[in-house]
Structure 1
Amino acid sequence: MKKLVSLTLIVLMIFSATLSLASFDEKVSSHWSKDYIDKEFVAYYFPYLAKDSFDRFDPTAAFDEKDFSLSLASLSMDFDMELTFDDILFSKDLTRREAVNIIGKKLIEDPTLKYEEKEIPFQDINTMDEESIELLRVLYSLGIIYGVSETSFAPDKILTQSEAIIILQRLKGVWEGMREVVFNIKGIIQSYNNQEAIVVKEEGDKLLVTITKEFPTPGYAMDINRIFRGKGEYKIQLDIVPPKADSILPQVITYKTMTIEIDKEQLIQGPPYVFTVEDKGQLIR
């Protein structure tokens, strides 16, 4: 009987997952956005659309300004951008002009913003004010937003769900490219007498960053997930793998020291170069 119940539950779970997948795929199957929308991105940053097997998701439907600001806020927090109550807007249909203002104002807050300016080819933006046009120029130059044709932007056209999702996907890509710091791991050693610290040393056109972290046993593995630019500092996200639960290890405090090398030409902020290390809420300075 237990086997029958378990089998039934498994079948139901598979069937439910299939329905969820079909629900999303069917809605984009004949839409131009099907090759551009990342389903996982939608589920993470637009959970209100993904809820109940993507029940609210409709690639052609108008997008709500409040929902857009909430998704942008969620994305911004992942890239350490400051948020205020002014960032959360009211519920109403969002126009393309308004989307430019919302994203553009958030983007230009980033002191590390760099781009090669491009000429705007749109001939229907004379109703937009100068600030909006300049923000559009930034977004167009970065490849975040385009027109409805080569020469038309349609500033007062209501933004659709598919357009909103793709625009924020592009924004995420731009932020990743702007903030990601390339590094090389020079080596890692283990010791039993040390202390947690970050030591930064300049060597010509290179920067050596040495990170020492304390662990309760020798069984932990330490790696780096990514390094990115924050506000006034560089954040190192550690990837810590604990030992297996059944591992037999000596209960002795252990230190792992990793040295990484970074080309200084990547580092817009500094000197001085300030690095912080994050791991599950713990912070080393």
Structure 2
Amino acid sequence: MRKKPLIVIALTMLLVFSLSQSVWAFSDTKNNPNESKIEALQKKGIIGGEKDGKFNPNGKLTYAAGISMIVKGLGLNIDNIRFIKAPKVTDHFKNLKDDAWYSNAVIIAQYNGLDIPVDVKAEDEMTREQFAHHLFKAILTKGDFAFTKQYVVLNDEKSVNAEYMDSIQKLLILKIASLDAKQNFNPKTAITRGESAAWLYDAIEFVQNTPPVTDPTPAVDYKLTTEKVNADITKVTITAQLPHPGYGLHITSISFEGDQAVIHVEVGKPDPDKIYPQVVTEKSVSTYIDAKLKPILSAPGQSVDGSTGFPIEEGGSASGSTGFPISG
């Protein structure tokens, strides 16, 4: 008689487990070519369904959903930036909402350089070329990776936004993205939710399984200038003379010490698969700080202890090699 309750409990637990397994999986991804990758992302909490337990894999991906899944999937954050006041999504994107479910992800994407169009709307459909570009930009935040020297021919190359071509090429080389049977990429076609999940899954796998390459940072001359936006905001621009156009310039973080805003920058490595003209090139990158703060430049090879990286005056500039203020 005592064994009966144990049997009932065991059967109940088995039933609950079975139900939880069926509830966990989306009800409309069965037989979808990307089913296993969608399920894997769901189990990690990276993607969610729309309603009624459905993922809608063939539905069009919105910008809000696309940016959110990239940020979450690749673990992007802005933990290395200290803000005087909380950033708002409307500081950069007037068509978005500050209190929306996607706003935090968009802010993180903006400060990680995902290159989101300033006029974007949350419900805009994200095209294949746009998702490819934002996804590859997110990959680059995880380190410098080596790519094989090849160029994938697209029959519809003329339809591709030239600014997105490099990102598309890299995803094709990595076999994260693919062409159709006619060797078309279909750049202006809205990407489906299922395909975007598959690309994201493969991008995560690439980052996790591929060690970044290391390359010494070249000696660089930096210059810092300011521009008054209004009574509360100052625009700070860092300019550097780089060995050739393949190098980039990035603001990695902003820290605050008293009334000083210490702006940390680094040089982005050139694409090893490309050949660049050996011409010294000027690159610039900008950020915005509270007008009450004094901007300080912190770059490789520099310190901010008072010997270099001096604050600059309003409307002036400072050399990255000495950091002495220049008035006017």
Corresponding position of 1:3: 5
Q: Which letter does structure 1 place at the counterpart of 2:5?
A: K
Match of 1:63 among 61, 64, 72: 61
Q: Which letter does structure 2 place at the counterpart of 1:149?
A: A
Structure 1 position 87 matched with structure 2 position 109: yes
Rate the CA distance shift 1:18–1:134 in 2: closer, same or farther, 3 A. closer
Rate the CA distance shift 1:174–1:58 in 2: closer, same or farther, 3 A. same
Rate the CA distance shift 1:40–1:105 in 2: closer, same or farther, 3 A. closer
User: Residues 196-215 of structure 1: matches in 2 within 5 Å?
Assistant: none
Q: Is the 8 A contact 2:42 2:48 kept in 1?
A: no
TM-score normalised to the size of structure 1? 0.51
CA deviations on 1:81-117 (whole Å, 9 max, x unpaired) are 9787161773332210110121122233444221103
Corresponding position of 1:164: 196
Structure 1 position 137 matched with structure 2 position 169: yes
Rate the CA distance shift 1:108–1:40 in 2: closer, same or farther, 3 A. closer
Q: Give the fraction of aligned pairs with identical amino acids, expressed as a percent.
A: 12
Rate the CA distance shift 1:99–1:78 in 2: closer, same or farther, 3 A. closer
How many equivalent pairs are there? 179
Q: Which letter does structure 2 place at the counterpart of 1:3?
A: P
Measure, in 2, the Cα distance between the counterparts of 1:145 and 1:62: 17
Measure, in 2, the Cα distance between the counterparts of 1:167 and 1:111: 19
Q: Which runs of 5+ in 2 are unaligned?
A: 81-104, 111-115, 117-121, 214-251, 253-328
Q: Is the 8 A contact 1:140 1:146 kept in 2?
A: yes
Q: Which letter does structure 2 place at the counterpart of 1:130?
A: A
Q: Is the 8 A contact 2:63 2:124 kept in 1?
A: yes
More helix by share: 1
Corresponding position of 1:77: 75
Rate the CA distance shift 1:129–1:157 in 2: closer, same or farther, 3 A. closer
Measure, in 2, the Cα distance between the counterparts of 1:56 and 1:116: 39
Corresponding position of 2:137: 105
Secondary structure at the residue paired with 2:75?
helix
CA deviations on 1:35-59 (whole Å, 9 max, x unpaired) are x52523223243422x87x813122
Q: Which runs of 5+ in 1 are unaligned?
A: 182-231, 233-285
Structure 1 position 179 matched with structure 2 position 201: no
Rate the CA distance shift 1:165–1:115 in 2: closer, same or farther, 3 A. same
CA deviations on 1:157-185 (whole Å, 9 max, x unpaired) are 1111210111011101211122389xxxx
Corresponding position of 1:241: none
Question: Aligned-residue CA RMSD in angstroms?
Answer: 3.8
Rate the CA distance shift 1:108–1:65 in 2: closer, same or farther, 3 A. same
